[in-house]
Amino acid sequence: MVKSFMKFAEIAVLLREIVDRCPGLDGSTITLIPQKAMYPLFQGYHINIKANITQESMGCLRKIIEGHDLIMKTKADSLLIYESRPQ
């Protein structure tokens, strides 16, 4: 599997759903990171959420992420959300 990244319009839909369904993330920092920052020849974005994530918030996010066939990678103080598609 290869990491690929979402288009801006896809991110807008996803962020709206997260805001509407996961009120526990209120006050978190959400950053859109351009794919080309890591891989100059590619387009698109991935989402980085920096927050104090509770079990409830994690469950809410997991349901949304799985519903969009995305992958969520957990780091010490943040989450990374991205698409993964076969080559």
Question: What domain count does the chain have?
Answer: 1
Q: What is the pLDDT of residue 21?
A: 95
Burial letters 3-21, b for 16+ CB under 10 A, else e? bbbbeeeebeebeeebeee
pLDDT in tens, the chain (87 residues): 444 457 778 889 999 999 999 999 888 999 988 877 666 666 678 899 999 888 999 999 999 999 998 889 998 889 988 876 543
What length is written for the chain?
87
Distance, in Å, from the CA atom of 33 to the CA atom of 73, rounded to the nearest integer, reads: 15
CATH number for position 21: 3.90.1070
Q: What is the pLDDT of residue 7?
A: 79
Q: Is the pTM higher than 0.95?
A: no
Q: What is the pLDDT of residue 2?
A: 45
